[in-house]
Amino acid sequence: MAKALTKSQLAAEIATKVEISKKQANLALETISALAYKHAKNTFTLPGLGKLVLVNRPSRQMTLQFGPKKGQVVTIPPKRVVKFRVSKAAKDAILGSK
């Protein structure tokens, strides 16, 4: 299995593809990241890849499986989590359409 691209490798790929400097490509990646952090509360969409959404998870009951408290039922409090939903186009491109 191939290793994931590092940030510098990704910037280099973008720079050669778009014919800009690596510094400009790195700035573009940082700008996209900053925008995603700022707008994730509403929903941030990367066209062709997917979207970042903020989800409210309700409280739930969980039975402990290990340790001295095994079998004890614990309530997990509600919380907000960030999820990335992959677009259908990205799924089809990666997995192949059915």
- The more confident residue out of 78 and 1 is 78
Cα–Cα dist 84/88, whole Å: 13
Cα–Cα dist 53/28, whole Å: 22
Are residues 56 and 34 both part of a single domain?
no
pTM above 0.85, yes or no: no
Name the token pair of 20.
Answer: 């800009």
pLDDT band at residue 2, thresholds of 50, 70 and 90? confident
Are residues 56 and 76 both part of a single domain?
yes
AA letter at 14:
I
Are residues 33 and 59 both part of a single domain?
no
Residues 6+ apart with CB under 8 A from 21: 15
Side-chain-facing half-sphere of 81: CA atoms under 13 Å: 9
Please give the residue range of the domain that contains residue 89. 48-98
pLDDT, average across residues 59-79: 93
